[in-house]
Chains A and B, each alone.
Chain A
Amino acid sequence: MSREEVMERLNGVFIDLFDDESIKINDNTTANDIEDWDSLEHINLIVAIEQEFNIKFNMNEVTSMKNVGEMVDIITSRIGA
Chain B
Amino acid sequence: MKELEYPLDIDYILKNKRHIKKELLNNNFSVEKRIAILGGSTTSDVKNMLEIFLLNYGIKAEFYESEYNKFYEDAVFANEELTRFNPDIIYVHTTVRNIRAFPNITDTEEEINVKLNSEINCFYEVWNGLKKYNAIIIQNNFEHPSYRLLGNREVIDIHGKINFINRLNSLLVNYANENKNFYINDINYVSSCFGLDNWFNEAFYHMYKYAMDMRAIPYLSYNLSHIIKALYGKNKKGLVLDMDNTLWGGVIGDDGIEGIKIGSETPDGEVFYAFQKYLLEQSTIGNILMVSSKNEEENALAGLNHPSSVLRPDDFTIIKANWNPKSDNIRIIADTLDLGADSFVFVDDNPAERKIVSDSINGIAVPDIKNPEDYIRILDRNGYFEVISLSQEDLNKKDIYKSNAERKSLMNESSNYEDYLRELKMHAEISEFKDIYLDRITQLIGKSNQFNLTTRRYTLNEIEEISKSDEYIKIYGKLSDIFGDNGLISVVIGKVDGSNLHIDLWLMSCRVLKRNMEQAMLDELVNIAMSKGIEKIYGYYYPTAKNKMVENFYEEMKFTLIEEDDTHKKYELNVSVYEKQNNIIEVN
Binding site for B on A (CB under 8 A): 13, 16-19, 36, 39-40, 43-44, 47-48, 51, 58-59, 62-63
B24 adjacent to chain A (CB < 8 Å): no
10 cross-chain CB contacts under 8 A: A16-B16, A17-B15, A17-B16, A19-B22, A40-B208, A44-B214, A47-B14, A48-B15, A51-B15, A59-B203
For A13, A39, A44, which residue has the most chain B Cβ atoms within 10 angstroms? A44
Residues of A within 8 A of B15 (CB): 13, 16-17, 48, 51
Contact with A43, one of B16, B19, B214 (Cβ below 8 angstroms): B214
Closest to A16 in B: B15
Question: Does chain A have a CB within 8 A of B11?
Answer: yes
> What's the minimum C-beta distance from B529 to chain A, rounded to whole angstroms?
55
Judging by beta carbons under 8 Å apart, are B14 and A48 in contact? yes
Contact A44 B14 (CB under 8 A): yes
In the complex, what residues of A have CB within 8 A of residue B208's CB? 39-40, 43
Q: Which residues of B contact A13 (CB under 8 A)?
A: 15
Q: B215 touches which one: A17, A40, A47 (CB < 8 A)? A: A47
Determine how close the nearest CB of chain A comes to the CB of B291; give it in whole angstroms. 41
CB distance from B48 to the nearest CB of A (A): 9
Cα of A58 to Cα of B44 in the assembled complex, Å = 22
CB-nearest residue of chain A to B206: A59
On whether the beta carbons of A51 and B11 are closer than 8 Å, the reply is yes
Q: State in angstroms the CA–CA spacing of A16 and B204 once bound together.
A: 22
Total inter-chain residue pairs, C-beta < 8 Å: 42
Q: Is B532 an interface residue (CB 8 A)?
A: no
- B215 / chain A contacts, CB cutoff of 8 Å: 47
Q: Write out, one digit per residue, whether chain B residues 278-318 have a CB within 8 A of any chain A CB (1) or not (0).
A: 00000000000000000000000000000000000000000
Residues of B within 8 A of A58 (CB): 203
Indicate the size class of the contact surface on chain B: 10 to 19
Q: Which residue of A lies closest to B48 (CB)?
A: A44
Chain B: minimal CB distance from A7 (Å): 18
Residue of A nearest to B208 (CB): A43
- Pick the contact of B203: A18, A48, A51, A62 (CB < 8 A): A62
Chain A's interface: helix, strand, loop or mixed, by majority? Answer: helix
> Nearest chain-B residue to A60 (Cβ)?
B203
Please give, as numbers and ranges, the residues of chain B lying within 8 Å of A36 by CB-CB distance: 18
Task: Name A49's closest neighbour in chain B (CB-CB).
Answer: B15
- Residues of the B chain whose Cβ atoms lie less than 8 Å from the Cβ of A62: 203, 207
Residues of A within 8 A of B42 (CB): 40
Question: Which B residues form the contact surface with A (CB < 8 A)?
Answer: 11, 14-19, 22, 42, 44-45, 203-204, 206-208, 210, 214-215
Question: With the chains together, A63 CA to B206 CA distance in Å?
Answer: 11
Closest 7 CB pairs of A and B: A19-B18, A59-B203, A48-B15, A19-B19, A47-B214, A51-B11, A40-B44
Q: Which residue of B lies closest to A51 (CB)?
A: B11
Q: Cα distance A19–B16 when bound, in Å?
A: 7
Q: Among B19, B44, B45, B206, point to the contact of A16 (Cβ < 8 A).
A: B19
Once the chains are docked, how many angstroms separate the CA of A48 from the CA of B17? 11
Q: B11 near A43 (CB under 8 angstroms)? A: no
Contacts of B18 in A (CB 8 A): 17-19, 36
Closest to B202 in A: A59
B214 in contact with A59 (CB, 8 Å): no
State in angstroms the CA–CA spacing of A13 and B206 once bound together. 25
Q: Which residues of B contact A19 (CB under 8 A)?
A: 16, 18-19, 22
A48 — which chain B residues lie within 8 A by C-beta? 14-15
Q: How far does the alpha carbon of A18 sit from the alpha carbon of B22 in the complex, in Å?
A: 12
Bound CA span A27–B96, Å: 40
Closest chain B residue to A61, Cβ basis: B203
B16 close to A59 (CB less than 8 A) = no
A52 to chain B, nearest CB (A): 8
CA distance A44 to B17 in the complex (A): 10
Residues of B within 8 A of A18 (CB): 18
Which listed residue (B16, B22, B45, B207) contacts A63, Cβ 8 A?
B207
B51 to chain A, nearest CB (A): 14
In the bound complex, CA of A81 to CA of B18 (Å)? 31
Q: Contacts of A16 on B, CB cut-off 8 Å?
A: 15-16, 19
Nearest chain A CB to B13's CB is how many angstroms away?
11
Known: A47-B214, A51-B11, A51-B15. A59 touches B207 (CB 8 A): yes
CA distance A18 to B207 in the complex (A): 21
In the complex, what residue of chain B is closest to A58 when comparing beta carbons?
Answer: B203
| Nearest-Cβ distance from residue A47 to partner chain B, whole angstroms | 5
Closest to B213 in A: A47
Cα of A40 to Cα of B209 in the assembled complex, Å: 10
